Amino acid sequence: MAGSYTALYYHIVFSVKDRRPVLSPDIAPRIYEYIAGVIRVIGGVPIIVGGAVDHMHVLARLDKAYTVSNAVRRMKAGSSKWIHETFPDMKDFAWQEGYGAFSISVTGIDRTKRYIENQVVHHQTVTFQEELLEFLKRHNIPYDEAYIWK
């Protein structure tokens, strides 16, 4: 085969440091768009970026040239710097260390997109920690529960 063809879709989740509820409805959409821009810059395709007041969800097709960890590092570092520059009252903002990344099949894209679109309603009854535990269990990912509740 003369070329390399990939369709690498990921549902990526990461939280605000100490899970502080600082992603208010007036600034969150701007942060979502910034992160979508980072994904485009690294050759990916953002499908949806959203979340709740204390964490982010990203559904994107990533370019084969980037590992997931490098893509997340670029998203978090770039958006953190931009947040500090754009919102002076958020100078102490930081993302929590780590992330969750879950591969998504083409047939799961619409379902995942709807899930991300409904985060505000979803988190009226489910905490971020409960949500993360569900993802880890569903994907058979080993974890240390002590880090889930930090």
3 falls within a domain: no
Tokens standing for 109? 């894209």
Question: Domain for residue 34, yes or no?
Answer: yes
Read off the CATH number of the domain in which 102 is found: 3.30.70.1290
Tokens of 94: 């930081």
pTM of the entire predicted model = 0.90
Half-sphere exposure of 81 (CA within 13 A, CB side): 6
Could you tell me the pLDDT band of residue 150, with boundaries at 50, 70 and 90? Answer: low
**Count of domains for the chain:** 1
Give the pLDDT confidence of 104-119 residue by residue, as tens digits.
999 999 999 999 998 8
**Interhelix angle 68-86/28-41, nearest 10 degrees:** 140
Q: Give the tens place of pLDDT for each residue, 27-86.
A: 999 999 999 999 999 999 999 999 999 999 999 999 999 999 999 999 999 999 999 999
